[in-house]
C-alpha cells in the first residue's frame, strides 16, 4: 500500500489546514495509507480515523526549532513514505532542513498557500523559502501570479492547483 505524509505547521485553524485535511481524508478513503504530521496540535478538522496522526509535543525553548527539525528527521528516517506533501512555507522550510542528505527529496511536494508578496517580511525567511522550494520535486501554487513571483528554477517545478470548492460545507441559500 502506498504511504503518503502530509506536513503542516498547525493542525487546524486556517484554510491551508482545511484543504490539507480534505485531501488527507480523500486519499485515506481511496486506499492510501495516510499520515498527518503537524508541528503544533491545536485541534483538528474532521479527520478520518484511518489517518495516523503525529504531533510532537515539543516544549517552547531556545532550541525548539532544532528539536522540531530533528524530530521530523527521525520520523522520516523511521517511516518510508512514497510521497510527502508539505503545506505552508514554515513547514516546508523545516521539511527541507529535516530531509538534508535523505533520499526522500525526490518524493517531496511543497505547497505555497498564501500570497508570496505579502507573506514574509524577513529577507532571511524569503531566501530560506526559495532554498526550501528548490529542494522539492514539485511546488504547488494556487494562482499563476503566485508562481510567477518565484525564480525560474522554482517555476519549472510549479503546478497550479486552486483550492477545492467543498460543497458539503455550503448551506443552501433561501430565496
What pLDDT score was predicted for residue 169?
54
- Distance from first CA to last CA of the chain, Å, rounded? 48
What pLDDT score was predicted for residue 168?
59
Residue numbers in the chain where pLDDT is lower than 70: 10-14, 41-44, 57-63, 119, 165-175
Between the CA of residue 50 and those of 107, 118, 167, what are the distances in Å? Answer: 22, 36, 23
What pLDDT score was predicted for residue 137?
95
Long-range pairs, 57-66, Cβ under 8 A, ≥24: 65/94
How many other CB atoms are there within 10 angstroms of residue 36's CB atom?
24
What pLDDT score was predicted for residue 108?
95
> What cell does 146 get?
503566485
How many other CB atoms are there within 10 angstroms of residue 13's CB atom?
13
What pLDDT score was predicted for residue 96?
95
pTM of the model: 0.84
Q: Which of 99, 106, 52, 53 is nearest to 72 (CA)?
A: 99
Taking only the tens place, the pLDDT of each residue in 2-14 is: 999 999 876 556 6
What pLDDT score was predicted for residue 56?
73
What pLDDT score was predicted for residue 119?
64
Dihedral sign for Cα 34, 105, 100, 121, please: negative
> What cell does 170 get?
455550503
What pLDDT score was predicted for residue 158?
95
Q: Which of 155, 136, 137 is nearest to 145 (CA)?
A: 155
Amino acid at each position: 500500500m502506498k504511504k503518503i505524509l502530509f506536513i503542516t505547521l498547525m493542525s487546524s485553524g486556517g484554510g491551508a489546514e482545511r484543504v490539507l485535511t480534505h485531501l488527507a481524508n480523500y486519499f485515506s478513503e481511496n486506499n492510501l495509507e495516510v499520515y498527518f504530521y503537524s508541528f503544533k496540535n491545536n485541534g483538528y478538522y474532521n479527520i478520518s480515523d484511518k489517518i495516523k496522526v503525529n504531533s510532537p509535543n515539543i516544549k517552547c525553548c531556545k532550541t525548539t526549532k532544532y528539536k522540531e527539525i530533528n524530530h521530523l528527521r527521525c520520523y522520516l528516517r523511521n517511516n518510508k513514505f512514497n510521497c510527502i506533501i508539505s503545506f505552508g512555507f514554515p513547514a516546508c522550510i523545516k521539511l527541507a532542513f529535516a530531509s538534508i542528505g535523505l533520499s526522500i527529496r525526490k518524493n517531496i511536494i511543497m505547497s505555497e498557500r498564501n500570497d508570496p508578496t505579502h507573506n514574509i517580511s524577513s529577507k532571511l525567511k524569503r531566501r530560506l523559502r526559495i532554498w526550501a522550494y528548490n529542494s522539492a520535486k514539485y511546488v504547488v501554487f494556487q494562482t499563476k501570479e503566485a508562481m510567477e513571483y518565484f525564480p525560474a528554477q522554482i517555476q519549472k517545478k510549479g503546478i497550479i492547483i486552486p483550492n477545492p470548492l467543498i460543497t458539503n460545507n455550503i448551506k443552501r441559500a433561501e430565496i
